[in-house]
Structure 1
Amino acid sequence: MTETTVNEYRLPLAGVAASDEALGLSPVQPAAIAQIEGADVGHVRASLQANDAIVPCGPLRYLVVSEVTRAPALLVRLREGCPDADAVDLSHGWCRIRVIHARASGVLESGTWLDLESASRNGTASMPGAFRGIPVVLHVEATDRIAVYVPRSYARCLWDWLVDTVHGFERD
């Protein structure tokens, strides 16, 4: 069952159908999503713990995703490790949807102009973009697993589109 709140905010993906999850879509949210801007990647990495991930979004701009550490503690670590940078909690405003599917890059390429197939061949990659006009940050975690970070107001709509897209791939 999917958690319904993170840091006291109700998740827009609470109550999605278990059958949707069986398609290879995961609504499980991290404990925190933060953005840090103005720090070099070395300082950001030095602030991370084992369960944290760094998702590059542009020059000196990163999402930091923690599976265990809640936002207040994550922000303290980032601000201590990168004192000249700006770190902000995005946990209340952004959601993560993982596409875990043998054709994950194909599923997402159907709604975006980004070439995820070559990005996944080159290892972990991330890029800001749009999926059918919805602003997203795509993070290729493995060839069959891509995390999609999306503003929470678009999360349910994106989820429904992804369900439809995966159903189309299942028919192929």
Structure 2
Amino acid sequence: MSSKPLRADARRNRTRILAAAEEVFAARGAAAATEEVAAAAGVAIGTVFRHFPTKRDLLGAILKDLLAELSEKAREGDLFEFFTRVVTAAAEKRFVVELLAGQGVEVEVAGAVGSLSGAVGALLDAAQRDGRVRADVRLDEVLALLGAAGQGALVWSPDLRARTLEVIFAGLRG
């Protein structure tokens, strides 16, 4: 794709393609074809390929949007809400990780969480100032816990996710 800004119709198409891709891949997994994404988005396959030349590019864009959304959410909530959102998003969007892994791309949730370190650091500072998190908890520890919980969420049941978060939160509170 060129570096020129997208026209309004191209931006709308890109948004529709990404939304459709999330739905199609979540429902059908790696077996889903790019043609199915195009049909669900109501665009021609050439339009999909103009925006995303490969399935890997499309999945990478979904992951990038998810990280941007999580960064924005980090500015709105508190540490515990954010932790829950990360784990929930990892579980709901596991198809992105699975599909990227199937494309030969190593995706590690911990690395993705690490890219949010500034936002997480601000949440941790606020929680410690308010006395909701122990003063001796460090940012690297919180990032490690987020990464591990996010990675685990790819395989954990909803009940195990909830119980694991309770254990983590109790440890942060001390």
Normalised to the residue count of structure 1, the TM-score between the two structures is 0.28
**Richer in strand (by share):** 1
Normalised to the residue count of structure 2, the TM-score between the two structures is 0.28
